[in-house]
Amino acid sequence: MGTLGFYFDQTICTGCRACQVACKDKNNLEIGVLFRNVRTFEVGVFPQTKAYHYSGTCNHCANPACVPVCPVGAMFVAEDGTVQHDDELCIGCLSCIQACPYSVPQYIESLGIVQKCDSCKQLRDNGWNPACVDACPMRALEFGDLDELRAKHGDDVVSELPILPSAGMTEPSLLISCKACAELPDFREKQV
Amino acid sequence: MTQFRNACPRHCYGSCAMFSNVKGERLIRVIGDSKHGYTQGSLCAKGYSLIQYTLDDYRLRYPLKQLRRGSGEWRRISWDQAYDIISLKIIELNKTFGSNKAIGYYKGTGNIGLLHHAVEGMFAGLGSCTNLTGNICADTGIHVLEKTMGSFPHPDPEDMHKANLIVIWGGNPTSTNINLMRIIYKARKDKSVPLVVIDPVFTNTAKRADYYFQIEPHSDEWLALGIAKRLVEVKHIDEGFIKEHTCGYAEFARELDRLLIDEVLSHTGLSTEAFDCLCKLFLEHNAIACLTGFGMQRYRGAGKAVNAISALIALTGSYYTAGGGLYFYNKAYTDPAEFMIEYCKPHSTDGEGRFVNINTFPQEALGLQDPPLKMLWVSCANPLSQGFDLAAWYDLFSQLELVVCVDLYLTKTARQADIVLPAASFFEEEDLIVSFWHNWLTLNEKTLPSFYESKSDLQIARELSSYINRIKPGFSAFPSEMNALDWICKFFIPQMEDEYGFNSIDDLRKQSFKKIKEPLPDTWRYCFDSSLLSDLHSEISLSVCDYPYYLLTPQSLLKFHSQYETLTWLNPMQKKMPTAEISSHIASNQEIRNGDTIEVCSARGSMLSEACVNAKLPNNVVYVEQSDRFCVNNLFGGSFPSAESCPFFDCKVRIRKVSPYEQPEGFSC
């Protein structure tokens, strides 16, 4: 099996946040903590404005920034290639939070440790999809072998957007079918 | 994109080696150096925020002059104007008093780079001025251990995992020394070495310990001696070690005999079961690694605690074991400040200068006569926020004719200065960083061009010295022709090359170097100090009824004392008020809930804060973060014995709930 990762079809995403809420529910997250975060952006000048959404979570990078920085080895690359976190080892030093260019790891105040998306490993091991994937009413999210996903969704999928850090930094395992307007440089984030 | 080698110069256990990636004169990424034996490629959260730090909006850009001190009426001036004002004042004071003794400096540990000792060098170059002595962090322990352990052998922290018991006494490495946790976890994983944490506060480290002992603040010496007594009683001591490598044991054991375990229990607040459990741990292990944190050295007489712990470790014979011993403070080779002073001072001085201790600086400086102190240069320090006796500091400032502050930010201290000079960040200067904890040394390369008009301490020392010499030839002996690389190549490298095993600056550009450590010599002796037990009872009387709670202000994870506070990557919360954590005991007694405004009062001052109930705190403890914005230090003060670090944790406070209708006039921050 090749590299595992998320596929996000931006062209059909309606920005409904169902994935975000399903993730929060699955992981029982505190107020203010999001493992999957949907953001909405706007480009252009009235009347030629366009909007797009981006649903982001841990990209389970091939060259993750969070893994080497962890002083105690709590963040590690699992056998299936996803980036996993060992809560038992974590000392809550927040180094990974600062190191991740996607701001993925989240500090869980009540536990005094960091946690992040584990791509619903437990669900997957039992033959299910990650919670966010199954929650999407538009079926805009998929998780699986990146080569297969690429073959399925065509060669025009990308791994970076102007709103994201350069893919060269951490080689994210991420495929996006992006809207044309999402490739424009002058974006503004909109609070929804 | 170009990559440079850097080293973090904070006065921290890590002294992390890092690489910085620069694109178009902008720092775009910092990563740890995986070849560094201690840090192994990880940086802390503060380290990763350095990208924001180099371009922080709050950083000072130009030299500034304040029209009236504390008025906030700042005027931008040129460097030459600043040098002119300072030089003329120095010369005028020299003329008035016939020496440079009216001129002093206060150099902190905001940057521990060797070349920042150029501040000391610059003043040494003037001849007899008012110099600084002492160690702001470690004086309490250093002075005591010099008596008992001589030039005390600091074990290599990378070997700590070889011990068979790890004790963290009054320290919190998950916040202040994250790489040590890797070593502690390695010990646990490889050999199931238990981690014991002794601390009044249930810290993040305590949460991860196998055994946690919550003791009353200020009772460390009682606990250490109590365990020592138990070891002696059941004759479970390393007699071979005691016979060959110690002196004064017989008397020490006799004195210990007089100690009552009941007293130990009442002082420490431990139950008999807990105390027995801790003693058992010490009885069952013989290679004990004990870290005495700086937290347990912040009260009057804390030297006794360090002393007692060192004796306890001696009884177990751990000093010669692999990984065992007392982990405290790794004294660098020769003191670089002394070296700089020695090199820079003029050959024909007009009498000796005088010395003021860094810990008691404001009180001592106020007492100076003939001549009184008239000019102060502050660098790498923020004493008006972090000092112990702020009232004395303000008194001192009011007698000064000129205050110069070199800093990256407009700190509390800079706001009370006449001239503020913008300091370079460590990415904008060359330097050499030697750790006070592990055995590594790292070169810091100049990575970025100067931020606006900021300059390094060395650059300022060179320019100011030659400026004075232009006005009055021969006034300063500081070698202003020598640049950073000259200092490193000509002086520091020859001094250190044998110890660290490198030959040139090119070697340093390639990697960090580790000191070649010699094993503890066979001739080394531990001297038991039995006087320790005779004055155990002399406690400082604190008015218990008026101020019933201890105020503890330990180091927090996302700040470094008052440094890094403005970085939104680390401290994004725009707080209106500081947070004070109180025990649930205090909360229920005074009907305080989370978010209530409370007044924390000591005999010295008060501050308003937002209450946060922490059920894990001992009943008699209030916990507040250090800060520059919400300075807690105006609650501290009082006198303390010389040769000790400031007793910040000696502060006792009371708590008052402030009703929402009350005008917050006590809010002095």
Domains in chain A and their CATH numbers?
A: 4-63+118-190 (3.30.70.20)
Q: What angle do CA B286, B287, B291 make, to 5 degrees?
A: 125
The mean pLDDT value of chain B amounts to: 91
Digit-coded pLDDT (tens) for B233-284? 998 899 999 999 999 999 999 999 999 999 999 999 999 999 999 999 999 9
Using CA coordinates, name the residue in chain B closest to A101. Answer: B29
List residues of chain A with CB under 8 Å from any CB of chain B: 68-73, 89, 91-95, 97-99, 112, 169
pLDDT surpasses 50 at B418: yes
Digit-coded pLDDT (tens) for B70-124? 999 999 999 999 999 999 999 999 999 998 999 999 999 999 999 999 999 999 9
Domain stops at, among B534, B559, B574: B534
Residue keyed to tokens 């025009």: A156
Both tokens of B598, joined, read 């409370």
Task: Please count the other Cβ atoms lying within 10 Å of the Cβ belonging to residue B391.
Answer: 14
Q: List the one residue out of A42, A41, A37 whose CA is nearest residue A59.
A: A37
Asked whether this complex has an ipTM greater than 0.90, the answer is no
With CB atoms and an 8 Å threshold, state whether A69 touches B42.
Answer: yes
With CB atoms and an 8 Å threshold, state whether A92 touches B174.
Answer: yes
When scoring B42, B50, B177 by the number of chain A Cβ atoms within 10 A, the one with the most, hence best to mutate, is B42
* CA separation for the pair B384, B636 (Å, rounded): 12
Both tokens of A7, joined, read 């596929």
Return the percentage of chain B with pLDDT > 90, whole number.
78
Q: Do B282 and B373 share a domain, yes or no? A: no
Task: Please count the other Cβ atoms lying within 10 Å of the Cβ belonging to residue A59.
Answer: 25
Q: List the one residue out of A88, A29, A84, A36 whose CA is nearest residue A57.
A: A36
pLDDT surpasses 90 at B639: no
When scoring B176, B182, B570, B594 by the number of chain A Cβ atoms within 10 A, the one with the most, hence best to mutate, is B182
Neighboring chain A residues of B41 at a CB cutoff of 8 Å: 68-69
Residue keyed to tokens 């790292």: B442
The reply to whether B282 falls in a domain is yes
Looking up residue B567, the CATH number of its domain turns out to be 2.40.40.20
Q: Is the torsion defined by CA of A111, A115, A117, A120 positive or negative? A: negative
Residue keyed to tokens 């002095």: B668
Q: Do B461 and B398 share a domain, yes or no? A: yes
| Domain span including residue B560 | 549-657
With CB atoms and an 8 Å threshold, state whether B178 touches A95.
Answer: yes
Contact (Cβ atoms closer than 8 angstroms) between residue B333 and residue B516:
no
Neighboring chain B residues of A69 at a CB cutoff of 8 Å: 31-32, 41-43, 48
Q: List the one residue out of B175, B311, B341, B323 whose CA is nearest residue B249.
A: B311
What's the domain count of chain B? Answer: 3
With CB atoms and an 8 Å threshold, state whether B43 touches A69.
Answer: yes
Q: Do B389 and B473 share a domain, yes or no? A: yes
* CA separation for the pair B100, B93 (Å, rounded): 7
Residue B426 φ then ψ, to 5°: -70, -10
Neighboring chain B residues of A97 at a CB cutoff of 8 Å: 45
* CA separation for the pair A157, B24 (Å, rounded): 30
Instruction: Tell me how close the Cα of B41 comes to any Cα of chain A, in angstroms.
Output: 6
Looking up residue B125, the CATH number of its domain turns out to be 3.40.50.740
Q: What is the pLDDT of residue B261?
A: 94
Digit-coded pLDDT (tens) for B566-620? 898 888 767 888 999 999 999 999 999 999 999 999 999 999 999 999 999 999 9
Digit-coded pLDDT (tens) for B448-496? 999 999 999 999 999 999 999 999 999 999 999 999 999 998 878 887 8
pLDDT surpasses 70 at B541: no
Instruction: Report pTM.
Output: 0.91
Show Cβ contacts of residue A93 under 8 Å, excluding neighbours closer than 6 positions: A71, B44, B45, B174, B175, B178, B181, B557
Q: Do B149 and B237 share a domain, yes or no? A: yes
Over range A136-150, report the average pLDDT.
95
Using CA coordinates, name the residue in chain B closest to A91. Answer: B174
The reply to whether B9 falls in a domain is no
Q: Do B125 and B154 share a domain, yes or no? A: no
Q: Tell me, what DSSP letter sits at residue B332? A: -
Digit-coded pLDDT (tens) for B558-569? 999 999 998 988
With CB atoms and an 8 Å threshold, state whether A89 touches B45.
Answer: no
The reply to whether B613 falls in a domain is yes
Q: Do B596 and B632 share a domain, yes or no? A: yes
* CA separation for the pair B349, B18 (Å, rounded): 42
Q: Do B83 and B165 share a domain, yes or no? A: no
pLDDT bin (cut points 50, 70, 90) of residue B407 is very high
Both tokens of B312, joined, read 């306890």
pLDDT bin (cut points 50, 70, 90) of residue B165 is very high
Using CA coordinates, name the residue in chain A closest to B187. Answer: A72
Preceding peptide of B173 cis, ω within 30°: no
Return the percentage of chain B with pLDDT > 70, whole number.
96
Q: Do B165 and B297 share a domain, yes or no? A: yes
* DSSP-derived secondary structure for B606-645: EEEEEEEE-TTS-TTEEEE---STT--GGG------TTS-
When scoring A69, A102, A108, A110 by the number of chain B Cβ atoms within 10 A, the one with the most, hence best to mutate, is A69
Neighboring chain B residues of A92 at a CB cutoff of 8 Å: 174, 204, 557
* DSSP-derived secondary structure for B385-407: HH-S-HHHHHHHHHH-SEEEEEE
Q: Is B422 exposed, middle or buried, given 0-12, 13-18 or 19+ CB atoms closer than 10 A? A: buried
Q: Do B123 and B233 share a domain, yes or no? A: no
Region of poorest pLDDT, from A170-184, B455-469, B528-542, B555-569 = B528-542
Q: What is the pLDDT of residue B332?
A: 61
Beta bridge partners of B599: B608, B656
In B55-132, which residue ranges form alpha helices assigned H by DSSP? 79-97, 118-124
Instruction: Tell me how close the Cα of B558 comes to any Cα of chain A, in angstroms.
Output: 9
Neighboring chain B residues of A93 at a CB cutoff of 8 Å: 44-45, 174-175, 178, 181, 557
Q: Do B224 and B372 share a domain, yes or no? A: no
Using CA coordinates, name the residue in chain A closest to B32. Answer: A69
Preceding peptide of B371 cis, ω within 30°: yes
Beta bridge partners of B405: B378, B420
Q: Do B619 and B559 share a domain, yes or no? A: yes
The reply to whether B42 falls in a domain is no
Beta bridge partners of A174: A6
Q: Do B349 and B461 share a domain, yes or no? A: yes
pLDDT bin (cut points 50, 70, 90) of residue B534 is confident
Over range A152-181, report the average pLDDT.
93
Instruction: Tell me how close the Cα of B409 comes to any Cα of chain A, in angstroms.
Output: 22
* CA separation for the pair B175, B207 (Å, rounded): 12
Q: Which residue has the higher pLDDT, A14 or B642?
A: A14
Both tokens of B593, joined, read 């809930």
Nearest to B42 among A71, A97, A112 (CB): A71
Instruction: Tell me how close the Cα of A168 comes to any Cα of chain B, in angstroms.
Output: 13
Looking from the CA of B542 toward its CB, the CA atoms found within 13 Å total 19
Domain stops at, among B492, B509, B534: B534
Q: What is the pLDDT of residue B518?
A: 77
Q: What is the pLDDT of residue B336?
A: 81
Digit-coded pLDDT (tens) for B317-349? 999 999 999 999 887 656 788 888 888 888 765
Q: Which residue has the higher pLDDT, B161 or B523?
A: B161
Neighboring chain B residues of A72 at a CB cutoff of 8 Å: 178, 181-182, 185
* CA separation for the pair B132, B125 (Å, rounded): 14
pLDDT surpasses 50 at B668: no
pLDDT bin (cut points 50, 70, 90) of residue B350 is low
pLDDT surpasses 80 at B517: no
Q: What is the pLDDT of residue B669?
A: 44
Looking up residue B199, the CATH number of its domain turns out to be 3.40.228.10
Contact (Cβ atoms closer than 8 angstroms) between residue B624 and residue B578:
yes
On whether any CB of chain A is under 8 Å from the CB of B386, the answer is no
